[in-house]
Amino acid sequence: MIQNYRAAEKYVGTTRKSGRAQFAILENEGLKPTHDILEIGCGALHLAEPLLRYMKPGRYHGIDPNKWLRTAARSEDRYLDDLTRNGFFSSADDFDGEAAFNKKFDVIFAHSILSHVSDAQFDQFLAGVRKSLKPGGFCLASLRLGRDSNDQEWVYPGVSYYSANTVAIKGLANELLARHRPDIKAAYIEHCPAEIHDWYEFA
């Protein structure tokens, strides 16, 4: 079991320390225990663990098509296995939280999903976010800024890149305002210096 969980951590490239750093960002952005939150790419539950302790039961929702990551995390930690009963999980792969859980969300969070998506998947992600957000809600997502790589399929373990202009255009095409958040990048790197991502807020 331990070996499986270590394989899961290697696969996702994050640790429980990463989850705590992500949680601190969300708390700083005003996340409340009564909010409904959707994590796209919940992986090995590194962020889910502190969120499930913080949120009211039934408020956390996680999507990841790789169910084995969740299974490995739960098998390693009985407390986490019990804790996950306070949330909801889906193996959907279309980024549509409303379709997966039949509800809308105050906050959507996606760490290192847009840094691997194809051009078409980026649009699919933003369409899912627009559909799944409550009025006044927001989405925080990390990606890699650079020259557009124009990938035609999911890139993993490699990385896809998008220019700031492309991010803004894609956001507007999906009726979302894309705001670059270098302050979140700096805060995250302070805790996890090896995990360098650019961050955007979509609302």
Structure confidence by residue, pLDDT tens digits, 119-142: 999 999 999 999 999 999 999 999
* Structural domain span for residue 25: 2-202
According to the model, what pLDDT value does residue 79 have? 77
Structural domains in the chain (count): 1
How far apart CA 39 and CA 95 sit, in angstroms, is: 10
Residues in the chain with pLDDT values less than 70: 1-13
According to the model, what pLDDT value does residue 75 have? 82
CATH number of the domain where residue 140 is located:
3.40.50.150
Q: What is the pTM of this model?
A: 0.93
Give pLDDT tens digits for 26-56: 999 999 999 999 999 998 899 999 999 999 9
Cβ–Cβ under 8 Å, residues 200 and 138: no
According to the model, what pLDDT value does residue 81 have? 85
Helix H, strand E, coil C: the string for 74-132 is HHHCHHHHHHHHHCEEECCCCCCHHHHHCCCEEEEEECCCCCCCCHHHHHHHHHHHHHH
